[in-house]
Amino acid sequence: MQDAPTTASSNPCPATGPTSLARRLAVTLLLGAICLLAIACAKEPARQVALGTEIPVGPYAFEVLRARNAPNPPPPISTFRSQEGKKAIVAFVYWKTLVDVDGMHRLAYVEKFLESQLSISDADGTRTPAVSAMQERIMFMKDPGSNWRDWVVVFFVPDQSRDLTLLVENPEPREGQARLIGVPLGM
Q: What is the pLDDT of residues 62-83, one digit of tens each?
A: 999 999 998 776 677 777 778 8
Residues 104 and 174 in one domain: yes
| pLDDT beyond 50 at 42 | no
Residues 96 and 28 in one domain: no
**Least confident segment among 97-101, 104-108, 180-184:** 97-101
Percent of the chain at pLDDT > 90 equals 48
Residues 105 and 160 in one domain: yes
Residues 128 and 78 in one domain: yes
pLDDT for res 4: 57
Q: Euclidean distance between the first and final Cα of the chain, in Å?
A: 85
pLDDT for res 5: 56
pLDDT for res 53: 96
Full residue range of the structural domain in which residue 165 is found: 47-184
Beta-carbon contacts of 104 under 8 Å, excluding residues fewer than 6 positions away, are none
Residues 109 and 131 in one domain: yes
Residues 128 and 92 in one domain: yes
Residues 107 and 161 in one domain: yes
pLDDT for res 34: 53
pTM for the model: 0.72
Instruction: Tell me, yes or no, whether 2 lies in a domain.
Output: no
pLDDT band at 118 (very low <50, low <70, confident <90, very high): very high
Contact 156, 132 (CB under 8 A): no
Q: In what order do the strands lie in the sheet with 165-169?
A: 47-48, 180-184, 165-169, 118-121, 127-129
DSSP-derived secondary structure letter, 79:
G
